[in-house]
Chain A
Amino acid sequence: AQTVTQSQPEMSVQEAETVTLSCTYDTSESNYYLFWYKQPPSRQMILVIRQEAYKQQNATENRFSVNFQKAAKSFSLKISDSQLGDTAMYFCALDSNYQLIWGAGTKLIIKP
């Protein structure tokens, strides 16, 4: 069975700090994609960043970057220079067999 685990239910940091959200997963597929989605209070799921399992280079999107450790099946999200607008639920998701398998989410609070 494919699973995604986010072990941090909630985190809070001061504005401008760097924060890392953890995600581990399990799959028997050889190629797959991993995503981080952000869900602000507006409830819309917004794609933050994507990583293909075959690519060794960690994905980066502006202030967001991942640390993808394929052997350890770990996919953490680092947010640099955090902003108040980063306050949201963050979900890690695995794309395999044409379905997204989701983690339970981490509530991130950025404090002014």
Chain B
Amino acid sequence: EPEVTQTPSHQVTQMGQEVILRCVPISNHLYFYWYRQILGQKVEFLVSFYNNEISEKSEIFDDQFSVERPDGSNFTLKIRSTKLEDSAMYFCASSEDRVAGNTIYFGEGSWLTVV
């Protein structure tokens, strides 16, 4: 069964450093997403991406964050100048379409620890 893959599975970074989290969405999917889950807290929506541009973003997704689809398969989340509070599990997801209720498929997540 096709799946969303994410790398790295875990990354430890120094505060102030830049981090790039990578994702390979399911090949025929057109919509891509990033969600994050701070330990012990709810999963939060960050951003959705379609046709090479951001379609929706949350208040969390400020100038510190950016997303990119650098080639035909990868979808990346860049976090500039990381802060301690950026430590979280980051989930990439994709869907074939963005009709409400359409199944969104998630990757296994990337644990980011900022020290």
B interface footprint on A10-53 (CB within 8 Å = 1, 0 otherwise): 00000000000000000000011100010000111111001010
Pick from A32, A42, A43, A103 the residue with the most CB of B within 10 Å.
A43
Closest-CB distance, B73 to chain A (whole angstroms): 19
Query: B101–A33 contact, CB under 8 A?
Result: yes
Q: Once the chains bind, are A98 and B55 in contact (CB under 8 Å)?
A: yes
Determine whether A104 belongs to the interface, using a CB cutoff of 8 Å to chain B.
yes
* In contact, A100 and B100 (Cβ under 8 angstroms): no
Residues on B with beta carbons closer than 8 Å to the beta carbon of A102: 42-44
Chain A positions 62-109 with a Cβ under 8 Å from a chain B Cβ: 91, 93, 95-105
| B91 A98 Cβ-Cβ under 8 A | no
B48 contacts which chain A residues (CB < 8 A)? 98-99
Interface range on chain A (Cβ under 8 Å from partner): 20 to 34
Question: Dominant SS at the A interface?
Answer: strand
Q: Is B101 a contact partner of A47 (Cβ separation < 8 A)?
A: no
Tell me how many residues of B have a C-beta within 8 Å of chain A.
Answer: 23
A43 engages B89 (CB within 8 Å): yes
A50 near B56 (CB under 8 angstroms)? no
State the CA gap A101–B42 with chains docked (Å): 9
Inter-chain contact B100/A31, CB cutoff 8 Å: yes
Docked complex Cα distance between A102 and B106 (Å): 14
Q: Which residues of B contact A42 (CB under 8 A)?
A: 108
Determine whether B58 belongs to the interface, using a CB cutoff of 8 Å to chain A: yes
Does B74 touch A at the CB level, under 8 Å?
Answer: no
Name the CB-closest residue of B to A45. B106
Cβ-defined partner of B101 (8 Å) among A95, A99, A103: A95
Query: What are 27 inter-chain pairs, A to B, with CB distance below 8 A?
Result: A33-B100, A42-B108, A43-B89, A43-B108, A43-B109, A44-B106, A44-B107, A44-B108, A45-B91, A45-B106, A47-B104, A50-B101, A50-B103, A91-B43, A95-B101, A98-B55, A98-B56, A98-B100, A99-B48, A99-B56, A100-B43, A100-B45, A101-B45, A102-B42, A102-B43, A103-B42, A105-B42
Q: Please report A residues at the B interface, Cβ cutoff 8 Å.
A: 31-33, 37, 42-47, 50, 52, 91, 93, 95-105
